[in-house]
Each structure stands twice: as structure tokens, then as C-alpha cells.
A and B are shown apart, each in its own frame.
Chain A
Amino acid sequence: MIAELGHFALILAFVMALVQSVLPMLGAVKRDARLMAIARPVSIHMFLMVGLSFAALTYSYLVSDFSVANVVQNSFSQKPLIYKISGVWGNHEGSVLLWVLILVFFGALVGAFGSNLPAPLRAATLAVQAWVVSGFLLFILATSNPFERQLPAPIEGNGLNPILQDIGLAIHPPLLYIGYVGFSITFSFAVAALILGRLDAAWARWVRPWTLLAWVFLTLGISMGSYWAYYELGWGGWWFWDPVENASLMPWLSGTALLHSALVMEKRDALKVWTVLLAIITFSLSMLGTFLVRSGVLTSVHAFATDPQRGVFILVLLCLFIGGSLSLFAWRAPLLKQGGIFAPISREGALVFNNLFLTAATASVFVGTLYPLALDAFDGTKISVGAPFFNLTFGPLMVPLLLVIPFGQSMAWKRGDLLAVAQRLYAAMALALVLALVMLWSWGADNILAALGVGLAVWVMAGSVSELWSRGKFSSVGPLKGIRRIVGLPGSAWGTAVAHFGVGVTVLGIVSATAFQTEVVLTMKPGQSVDVGSYQVTFDGLSPATGPNYIEDIGRFTVRKAGVVAGTMTPSKRVYEASRMPTTEAGIMTSGVSQLYLALGEIHQDGSLDIRAYFKPLVLLIWLGCVVMAIGGGLSIMDRRLRVGAPTPSRRRQTSSSGTAGTSTSGAGTSTGAGS
């Protein structure tokens, strides 16, 4: 009964999405206030319906309703509560439902809080959003119904893939999806603007906060996933250039570019057309990522071809949305007026540079991920594109980007003075150089690249600090007033500095954990010790244990530093009852931001054990840096100027240009109807 309710709510939501797709758009084009007024309540009700449906599925999981096929395949009555909940989106059907839930949630947000948008823009945006919603709801209803019954109901479910039974899974996909799907709003905004044929000030003001919001979640989601792979897969690596990872990296890269170009558009009215294109590309890459992960095309082109229903369906949706929006762009973009002129050496120029390299990096990930599939589909030639390719192509693109960050954020708009900026960054430059030289001196010329990497990271971090510092103007206003000045800087200035600082932190973590890691692979007998970095690790013995739904062998290790016991570590090998699948649980000991990492290999007859041990200096900085980036994004969203939003400036511009613009663009929240 509950499952049928959920199914029915989903069908209702689909019907609403169809209505929403047509009527508000008609209203926006014909300037009919009544038709446009439909958009708002429908967007909210659509969210309620999909929410109801999602709640129904969650309920089926909570009570282990094994008459629902999806629950049978992915749950297990003995599973801990948290994994019963996270199991809802740990499978194909549930995760697509979560995807749509977030999609309609963002639509409802625009409906609820978009009162300061011009009515036609809001109605058209919600209509475009509803196109995407209808497409994906139809996909669920036609090919991936999570409420399908399985009768007679089995007594027990099949369990959840043990690798996925982890707190990381509970958090990672929702974060990632909020990021992915958050870009749908900028996409809908862009398409709506193209249809209406104008990009007004309200548009420019709205794009950046929405992009920032999605970007913050995507950043957290990706870093969370990376950390999860690091401790769960037991390989000690944290990024594998796996197509699934690449699928999330692509929208992140282009989303980062979008964030920066939207800034130029907002402040200087330039790069408008490019920003629209980026908004379309970014969400297209999000959809592409969904297609790659959900269609099975990655496992093998042929697996896709033998069970094509879902894959073909998403592929058609993809072609429709991406092809449609790009054609619309080609057709309507010439109508959009470009503004804001700037010299190459300027804040805008630096942001164009940023966009160029981020787009090229997106292209490198895109081509590396899809080229083997395309080649295979084209003439059956099989090639592999893996980590070595990406290291060679993606890496070099990041270096100039990082080098320019401190210059870019200190540069003036419109026309900058490179020399003056360099003088302001004098201290940061010196610090980076000195540290690189110290590294070189202490680690030897063999590690010149690592030393340069450390210098680069320090340069980015110190550049951010120096930017905030120089904004204080201590020399001219004195220390007290200077501190007040810094604290009083707008959220976006703080956000920029903090996010860029986070980039430097991540780079430092990457360089250090890669270049200065110590690795030991050996067979140990009980009682034996081995040196890992500055630690001595002693293998005490192996003991079996039983968990809630698995059995495991736990290796017990004592860790000493300079003879003093620093702690014990208990990496294990698990076998889950429901699936008989073995997994390794790495032992991790954190000291500061460095980690000692132990993974168990084969267990031999004589009680000895293969182990892999790593000491990874500063490794935690990789993910902490991402968190700092996300905090920077959050600070930027909080900027008062963004919250105040469009009304004030657009109303002013309105009065000055009302003769040509017409009344339809009224940015103020007071006039919801437009036209007469």
C-alpha cells in the first residue's frame, strides 16, 4: 500500500511537471500573468509529491518490506538502521529518485524565494526546470520503478554491497547529487534567458549564488568520496582517475570556471555569452556523468548494448537536453549584447585565463574518459586511458592556473598594473621561494619537482593571506583600523581568499603525500617489527571477530615512535554474510595531519601475514583543503550583496532605460505580474 502510494505520487508529480513545462513558458512568452503564476505553486507541489514518494521508499526500507523488489535486492533485515536509510540511494532506482528529488527541491527553492526575479524569467526558468524533471521522472516510471513488487515476498533480502556499508556512503551521494543537480538551476536560467532573448541584471545577480551553492556541495561530495575510497578500498590511493570519479570531476571543473566567469558578468557585464554557454555545459556534464554511471556503458560498451533499455533512454534524454540547449544557444546567443571592455592585464583578463585553463582541463578529462568508448563504438579498437595519461595532460594545465591565482585575485578590474601587484605579493613570493629552496636543500636535487610543488602550494596560500592583509592598508590607517578593515571586508573578498587558500592547502597535501610518502610491503610473523617512516610497527597477532552482519580477521599492531608506544592499529579483513564478499578495512593512525596507513594482504598458513604500510605526511591536507574551499564558497554566498540580490540595482537601471527595455523586466519583487 505504502509502495503504491509512493508510485502514485511519482505519477502525479510527472503530470504536474508536464503542466509546468508548457503553461508558464507560454505565459512568459505571451506575457500572460495568470499563466506565469502557475509556476510557483506547481513547483512547490511537485517537490511535495516527489518528497512523498521518496519517503514511501525510505519507509519500505525501514520496515524491510521484502515485497518490494528494490528492497529485496539492496537490503537485509539485520542491517544497522543508518545503512537501511542510506541503502535507499545505494542502488540505481533509489539514486535516480534522489536525483529527481533534489531537482524538484531546487525548483521549489526558486518558486519559494524567487520573488525578486522578473516574473517572465522566473516562469520560464521553472518551466525549463520542469522539462528536465519530466524527462527524468519518465525515465524512472518507464525503466527504473523503485516500487515494483516482488511476489511472493522472500523472507530475507540480498543485502547491500559491503563496500557501500559505510558512513561515507550515507553522506557522499547526497552531497554529490546536490552539487550535480544544483547546476540545473543555472542551466534553466541560461536556457530561459536564451528563450526570452535577454540577459538582464537580475540574471547576472542570480547565477553566481546558485552556482556557488552547487559548487560547495560538489566540492564536499567529491572530497568525501575521495576520502571514502582512500580508507575503504584499502589501496592507500585517493584518486584513481576512474571514469566514475571523472564524471564528477568534469562538472566540478566547468562549474569552477562558471563561478569565475559569472563574477566577471556580475561585476563588469562582460563574458555574458560565454557564461551562458558554461552554464549549459556544466549541467550537461552533470547529466553526462549520470548517464555514464547509470547506463552501464562504463563497464563495457557491449554490456550497454545487450541491456540497452535504460542506457538508450538516458542517452535520448541527454541528446535532447544537451543538443537542444546548445542549438538554442547557437540560434539565440547572437541576440545577447556584450558589455564591459577590459585590458588583457586586469582582473577580467586573469579570470579569462582561469576559464581557458579550466575549460582545457575539463576537455582533457572529457576526452580521456570518453575517447576509448568512442573508439570502441567506432571501429572496435580497444585502448585504455588511465592515470598516466591524466597525469601527463591534466597536471600541466593546473600549474599555470595555480601560478596565476595570487596575481588574479589582487589585480584591479578593467585595467591592472602587473608591477604594482607583484610588489604587493613580494612577501608571498619570497616565502614560497625560500621554502622551495629549503626543501630542495634538505631532500636533494632528486626531489626538485616536489620542492617546486611545495613552493607552488605555499605561493597560493601566502598569496591569499597577503591579499587580505593588503586590503587592511595597515601602513596608512594603523593596526586597529586595519584589522577592522579586514574583518569588515565583504563576504566575497573573504570567500575568494579562503577558497584560494584551500586550493593551496590541497596542493600541499597532494605534493607531500605523493612525494614524501614511505611505503613498505612485506610478510610479517607475529612479534616482528618494521620501520615505516619514523614509526616502528610491531605485529602482535591475528584474532577473529564477529560484527553485526560480517565476520572478520583483525590484525593487531603496536606502533612506537622512538621506543615509546604511540598507539595500536587494527586493520582487518571482512567477509559479509549476505554476499560472501571479502573486503579490507585499512587501519589508519592519524598524527597531526599525517597518517600511518596499514592494509592487510594475504594471511598465510603459518600465521604470518602480508601487509602494506604507508606513512603519508600531511595527507589529510588534501581533504581539509577541500573543506576550506567549500567554506570559502559558503562565505561568498553569505555576502550581503548577494543576499540583497537583484532588486535595487536592476530597478535603478530600469528607470534609466525604461524607454527601450519595456516593463517586462521589472526586477523588483513588488511587481509579480508583467506586461501592461
Chain B
Amino acid sequence: MNVRGRSAIGLCAALLFVMLTGLLPAKALTPDEILPDPVLEQRARELSAKLRCMVCQNQSIDDSDAPLAKDLRILVRERLVDGDSDADVLNYIVSRYGEFVLLEPRFAWHTALLWATIPLALVLGGYLAYRSMGARRREAEEGDHQFELTAAEQERLERLLDAQGGDDTYHPGKPGD
């Protein structure tokens, strides 16, 4: 049986963004478990990647060789064959094994901080950067008038800069300036 790893759904939104993961590979899946229906099998694979092998360290049941993981893989497939939706399957497994089994925690009060950290970090960081840049510019405008160039100096400076074409170029003759 041939499971095509490049099937599209499996990549889902994560794919482009998956910068550092081996998302898809089936590792511990054994041939006898594979469902004859490729669509169901693909769904089973995606669900398996989201479920934790309870007796392993940080492995999904899709990755694990443990017997318990195999039981769970078979359970997932049984539910799918019975016509459960993906959400039904996850709910069922969570009801039996607890929330610990989900590798992607659900959004709830006790996980709010986990999910909110990144947007908060971005917004707060962006705000702080913006504010400190703004404050320093104002400070500079108020305080540094004595350093301002005269129109003639400004023009000369621009001519020099144009001649150099970017100040990052290295000029061996004039170290440190």
C-alpha cells in the first residue's frame, strides 16, 4: 500500500510555516494498521500526529513504537470507520485519556496564557519599540539643536555620502572613520 506523503490536506496551514519540523513522516505505523480507504487513512494520520503517546516522552502516537500507541492508532481508525468526525474522535479520546493526550492544547482558561503569549509579545514589543523610537526622536529634536548641521554642511554631507554609495563599504585607507 502506498501512502502518498505529499497529499495536500496533510500539509494544512502549518506546512508553509513548518519551518523546523518533520511533520508528516510515519514512523511507527505498521502496514497491518493502514486503512484501505486512502481518505480515511489520511485523516487517521493527521489525527495521530495530534495525539500523544502516553507512555513516551514527547512522541505522537504516529511516531511511537509503544504498544499503547498502536492501540490508540487502531482505536482512532475504528472510530473513523464508524463514521466519526475528526472532532468526535478527539473528544472521544480525550474523554478516555484526559487532556494530556492532546499535543496541541485546547484554548481554555488554563491555557489562555500559553496561547496569548505570542500575540502579547508581538504587540507589547512592537509598542515598546515604537514608543522608545518616538521618545528618542522627540528628545533629539528638543535637545540636540546645537548638533544640527547648517544647510551648507548638510549639502556637503550628502555629496560625500553619494560619492561613497552606502556607508558600509570598506575603505582601507581610512580605518575607523
Contacts and interface: CB of A to CB of B under 8 A. Distances in A.
Interface of A: 230, 234-243, 249, 298-299, 338, 341-342, 344, 352, 356-357, 359-360, 363-364, 367-368, 371, 375, 381-399, 412-413, 444, 446-447, 449-450, 452-453, 456, 471, 473, 488-490, 492-493, 507, 510-511, 513-523, 530-531, 599, 601-602, 610, 612, 614, 640-641, 644, 648-649, 652
Nearest to A234: B27
Given A240-B58, A489-B169, A519-B26, A391 B31 contact: no
A514 B18 contact: yes
Contacts of A367: 113-114, 117-118
Interface string B123-160: 00110010011001100100000000000000000000
B66 to A, nearest CB: 13
Contact of A648 (B30, B136, B167, B175): B175
B170 A641 contact: yes
A-B pairs, 8 with minimum CB distance: A395-B17, A237-B22, A386-B103, A446-B8, A519-B5, A388-B104, A235-B27, A490-B170
Interface in B62-78: 63
B103 A515 contact: no
Given A241-B58, A242-B58, A384-B100, A610 B27 contact: no
A90 to B, nearest CB: 18
A243 B58 CA distance: 8
Contacts of B167: 412-413
B19 interface: yes
Contacts of B59: 240
A520 B2 CA distance: 5
B19 A383 contact: no
A610 B32 CA distance: 9
A400 B49 CA distance: 26
Given A364-B117, A511-B16, A515-B11, A612 B27 contact: yes
A383 B14 contact: no
Given A382-B98, A391-B17, A515-B6, A236 B25 contact: yes
Given A235-B63, A240-B58, A471-B169, A397 B118 contact: yes
A523 B13 CA distance: 32
Contacts of B4: 518-519
A390 B20 CA distance: 9
B34 interface: yes
Given A236-B22, A510-B18, A519-B24, A649 B176 contact: yes
A489 B16 contact: no
Interface string B93-131: 000001111111100001101100110011001100100
A354 to B, nearest CB: 11
B87 interface: no
A344 B132 CA distance: 11
B145 to A, nearest CB: 13
B23 interface: yes
B1 A450 contact: no
B63 A237 contact: yes
B176 A364 contact: no
Interface of B: 1-8, 11, 13-32, 34, 49-50, 52, 57-60, 63, 98-105, 110-111, 113-114, 117-118, 121-122, 125-126, 129, 132-133, 136-137, 140, 165-170, 175-176
26 contacts: A235-B22, A235-B25, A237-B22, A356-B129, A359-B121, A360-B121, A363-B118, A368-B114, A383-B105, A387-B21, A387-B49, A388-B104, A391-B17, A392-B14, A395-B16, A395-B18, A449-B11, A493-B169, A514-B11, A518-B6, A519-B5, A521-B31, A612-B26, A612-B27, A648-B176, A649-B176
B58 A473 contact: no
Contacts of B5: 517-519, 614
Nearest to B57: A299
A648 B176 CA distance: 7
A523 B49 contact: no
B110 A384 contact: no
A360 B129 CA distance: 13
Contacts of A531: 2
Contact of A388 (B14, B100, B126): B14
Contacts of B57: 242, 298-299
A389 B34 CA distance: 26
Contacts of B175: 641, 644, 648
Contacts of A444: 8
A514 B99 contact: no
A61 to B, nearest CB: 28
A510 B14 CA distance: 12
B113 to A, nearest CB: 7
Max chain B C-beta neighbours (<10 A), residue from A235, A522, A530: A235
Nearest to A222: B20
A269 B154 CA distance: 21
A356 B17 contact: no
A357 B129 CA distance: 12
Nearest to A387: B21
Given A239-B20, A352-B129, 15 more contacts: A338-B136, A352-B133, A359-B121, A364-B121, A384-B52, A384-B58, A390-B21, A391-B14, A392-B13, A446-B8, A489-B169, A511-B16, A515-B11, A519-B25, A522-B1
A531 to B, nearest CB: 7
Nearest to A602: B30
A424 to B, nearest CB: 11
A614 B20 CA distance: 18
Contacts of B168: 413, 490, 492-493
B35 to A, nearest CB: 12
A208 to B, nearest CB: 14
B103 A237 contact: no
Nearest to A485: B169
A456 B26 CA distance: 27
Contacts of B165: 473
B118 A360 contact: yes
A513 B26 CA distance: 14
B122 A523 contact: no
